[in-house]
Amino acid sequence: MLEKQCLNETMHIEKLENGLDVIIIPMKNVSRKYATYATHFGSINYRFKPEGEDEMLTVPDGVAHFLEHKLFEQEEGENALDKLTKMGANPNAYTSFNHTAYLFDTTDHFTEIFKALMHFVQNPYLTEENVEKEKGIIGQEIGMYDDDPDWQLFFGFVNCLYGKHAITKDIAGTVETISHITPDILYKCYHNFYKPSNMVICVVGNVNVEEVVNLIKENVKPKGTLDKIERDYGEEKEEIYQSKIEKEMEVSLPSFMFGYKDNFNRQMLESGYEQEHKDVLQYDVALQIALELIAGKSTKLFEELYSEGLVTREFGLSFTYEEDYAYTSFDNESTDYQKVVQRVVDQIEELKKHGVNQEEFERTKKVLYGNFVKRFNDVSGVATMVISDYFKGINTFDYVKAYEQVDQKMVEEAIRKHFDPSKMAISVIKPKTSA
């Protein structure tokens, strides 16, 4: 078992013989216990080479999300979500672009609840009848997302950045695509992606490491193939697909999201950059600092835009990167979003030309690092970070060193490298015009 130290916390890491990774962060000064059982299978994994086959298989959009729903249904009849709730847990599950996670939060009866979680994740019960029934339930969920302005704003944005990449596909799929999902398709995906070597268990909270490891060894499949899954995310060009997309919806003010496509992670993968990931972590931290220096709530730009009534709130600022895509984004609401975007772009060009202020850099870096540290006060926040970073091949604790290493020059270089005007795109949701 490996151990990593960070902020007075210890991360215990062990890979079992069946290939399953186990991550445990014991916290003695809390009462809660939080467990996540996750698989490297998300909505972008719609095309892959099944084990033992020579040809790529394309499955309907929304399969990973559909399978997440169905794993809660058990052969004995009781829904696993209801069962865990009755045992005193606060259970949940989610599907993202690149992984699916099943989780619970509890203060009591951890062993029994954890065993129940491991049992239902490893024992799918899929029939023609229950799969068909789920299509109606998920179809209603899809309809809710279709009517959600924030969701549509985001997908408009990624559809501007990417033309053929799987990220442009809605996580839940569409009513049409899920109509083609069958038990056979779900079982094939399950047996390929829910094998131990493609999964991780993360436990955070007031637990005993040795007891948790033994519990996992006693309750997970003892065997599993260690072969990596060959995946196809779709051919993608370096340039953006389109610069702008607009949509009318029931909103009172126009909302907008704009940002810049980045190809650094694809280049890293193609060059064979492996375990260390030091440059990626530093680049991530540098761009987070850059975003705050450009349009954060403490900047002069934001104060001016807010006082002039051009924005209604703080900017949503994000640098997102996963295994095969990366981008920054700014989002807000405005009656004159074009003016706001231009002011932000002008600020970026100003920073490219004159560099960043040393005092502002130091203050911003300190604030972001403080926010990172605060997340360790919450077991769910820690677990969420660790799982997300794990599927990027990153250890969350390594961010401490990245924050120490990033300097002003790195931030200025990241600004010059990333914010390329030719890689910028914008999505807008506008109020419906009267007929």
pLDDT in tens, the chain (435 residues): 778 888 889 999 999 999 999 999 999 889 999 999 999 999 999 999 999 899 999 999 999 999 999 999 988 878 999 999 999 999 999 999 999 999 999 999 999 999 999 999 999 999 999 999 999 999 999 999 999 999 999 999 999 999 889 999 999 999 999 999 999 999 999 999 999 999 999 999 999 999 999 999 999 988 777 788 999 988 788 899 999 999 999 999 999 999 999 976 555 544 444 434 458 899 999 999 999 999 999 999 999 999 999 999 999 999 999 878 999 999 999 999 999 999 999 999 999 999 999 999 999 999 999 999 999 999 999 999 999 999 998 999 999 999 999 999 999 999 999 999 999 999 999 999 865
pLDDT value at residue 284: 94
Domain co-membership, 258 together with 173: no
Domain co-membership, 331 together with 423: yes
Q: How many domains does the chain have?
A: 2
Assigned domain for 233 exists: no
Length of the chain: 435
Residues marked active site are found at 68
Domain co-membership, 24 together with 115: yes
Domain residues for 296? 244-431
Distance CA 428, CA 74 (A): 43
Domain co-membership, 214 together with 248: no
SS3 assignment, position 91: strand
Distance CA 163, CA 93 (A): 29
Distance CA 337, CA 348 (A): 17
Residue carrying structure tokens 């064979």: 272
Assigned domain for 44 exists: yes
Domain co-membership, 208 together with 302: no
Domain co-membership, 197 together with 86: yes
HSE-CB at 269 with a 13 A cutoff on CA atoms is 11
Assigned domain for 299 exists: yes
Assigned domain for 330 exists: yes
Domain co-membership, 28 together with 89: yes
Tokens of 88: 């005193």
Burial 279-303 (b: 16+ CB within 10 A, else e): ebbbbbbbbbbbbbbbbbeebebbe
SS3 assignment, position 87: coil
Assigned domain for 238 exists: no
Domain co-membership, 212 together with 274: no
Chain centroid offset of residue 210 CA? 29
* Residues paired with 57 in a beta bridge: 48
Within the chain, what is the greatest distance between any pair of CA atoms?
A: 67
Assigned domain for 170 exists: yes
pTM of the model: 0.92
CATH number of the domain that residue 397 is part of: 3.30.830.10
Residue 103 burial (CB count, 10 A): 22
Domain co-membership, 93 together with 197: yes
Asked which of 219, 252, 281 is the last residue of a domain, the reply is 219
Helix axes 300-307, 278-295, angle to 10 degrees: 40
Domain co-membership, 186 together with 328: no
Compute φ and ψ for 424, nearest 5 degrees: -95, 140
pLDDT value at residue 277: 47
Domain co-membership, 249 together with 112: no
HSE-CB at 424 with a 13 A cutoff on CA atoms is 15
Domain co-membership, 197 together with 261: no
pLDDT value at residue 278: 56
Assigned domain for 425 exists: yes
Assigned domain for 225 exists: no
